[in-house]
Amino acid sequence: MTAFDIPAGAPGAEDAEDKVVVAAAAAPEESHNGSVVVPPKPEKHTRVQVVRHPADDSSDEEDGEDGGEVVEDSQILEDLPDETEDIELIHSRLNSNSVNKLGLPRFGKHLKRLCLRQNFISHVDPDIFGALTELEELDFYDNKIKHVGSALNNMTRLTSLDFSFNLLKRIPEELQSHLKALKTIFFVQNKISHITHLEQFAPTLRSLELGGNRIRTIEGLDALVNLEELWLGKNKISKLELKILSIQSNRITKLENLDSLENLEQLYISHNGITKLEGLDKNPKLTTLDAGNNFIEVLENISHLTKLEELWINDNKIVSLANVEPQLKHITTLETIYLEGNPVQKAEGANYRRKVTLILPQIQQLDATYVKQTSGS
């Protein structure tokens, strides 16, 4: 079962307003532009779409002639099987009461994607949405929602959630305690002023969109170590105060554009294509730098990082220990350094570990092994 929009000007278009257009699989038919439309075979991936067309000014609808049949809210989804996996009700003039009459709970064991874009929904009813336990994608884009409450608590399989263009004043605290699979969240164009209540999304969250809000400070992101995309355009941010930045496992070949992150404390850039350590002149507060698994040939441009505590430079292309002393010996805070997996380890052989600990007597750990402290060190 699938949905077809009736093109403007085609026979029956004047009657289409407020109708549900649901076409079952049938024989091929010719479309308005002459092409052959072959409806897909009926399957459990059912989609329904409510289509609302503007009224035609030239029609006689005001006189009661040719007026479109009004579909009651309770009838919109009544012909769909319980096994339906995909429902779209876009720009359908639905309000909270309308949604309650749709009969959504009967799809609870099978529905995976629900799109309610561009409606007038202001309340998310737990009795209705609590039954949708198999949902993976939920879209409330462009509604009038101010609060979420416990309505989504049972959606433990949800991976994508869109609350863009609503009236939220904060990121709903209730979400993080229950949505354990969430990978993508959209809160674009709300009234959010603080980045909060995201910590428990850390294991899964990959993309966070907060553009068009009232955010002044970048905060509350420290725990999101797996975050790959952060969108903060059109806010009220005057200064970047990001403390942790993880951009591991991407395709970065050059370290740059970090000048504005003066408060950065932890930088994770491992598993990229970086060939040179550079671009960190404005990041003196760094305590952790992970540049492992890149293509760096020389240890350089980090002597000014005097607060550095951990340096991961393993599995690169470093062939000599010559720069270790001038770059790191004076950094008294340095406790851990990973150099293994570089050509220099093999070149130095059995002397590798002894040489590094003599050059850097302050370290407590070299690679995965603690350094034995002696009275002479």
Question: In a structure prediction context, what are the per-residue pLDDT tens digits for the chain, which is 377 residues long?
Answer: 333 333 333 334 333 333 333 333 333 444 444 444 444 444 444 445 554 444 343 333 333 344 456 788 999 999 999 999 999 999 999 999 999 999 999 999 999 999 999 999 999 999 999 999 999 999 999 999 999 999 999 999 999 999 999 999 999 999 999 999 999 999 999 999 999 999 999 999 999 999 999 998 888 888 888 888 889 889 888 776 778 888 888 889 999 888 878 889 999 999 999 999 999 999 999 999 999 999 999 999 999 999 999 999 999 999 999 999 999 999 999 999 999 999 999 999 999 999 999 999 999 999 999 998 665 44
Other Cβ atoms closer than 10 A to 256: 9
- Report the alpha-carbon distance of residue 113 to residue 296 in Å, rounded: 45
Q: What is the pLDDT of residue 69?
A: 65
Q: What is the pLDDT of residue 238?
A: 74
Q: Which tokens go with 295?
A: 């293509």
Other Cβ atoms closer than 10 A to 109: 12
Other Cβ atoms closer than 10 A to 168: 18
Closest CA to 171 of 155, 152, 190, 153: 190
Q: What is the pLDDT of residue 49?
A: 57
Q: Which tokens go with 368?
A: 């995965």
Decide the pairing of beta strands 160-162 and 336-338. Answer: unpaired
Closest CA to 311 of 338, 330, 293, 333: 338
> Could you tell me which residues are beta bridge partners of residue 337?
311, 366
Vertex 45 angle, CA 40 and 47, to 5°? 80
Give the contacts of 39 (CB within 8 A, at least 6 positions apart). 2, 23, 24, 25, 26, 28
Q: What is the pLDDT of residue 42?
A: 43
Q: What pTM value is reported for the model? A: 0.58
Q: What is the pLDDT of residue 37?
A: 46
Cα dihedral 180, 177, 137, 216 in deg (nearest 10) = -110
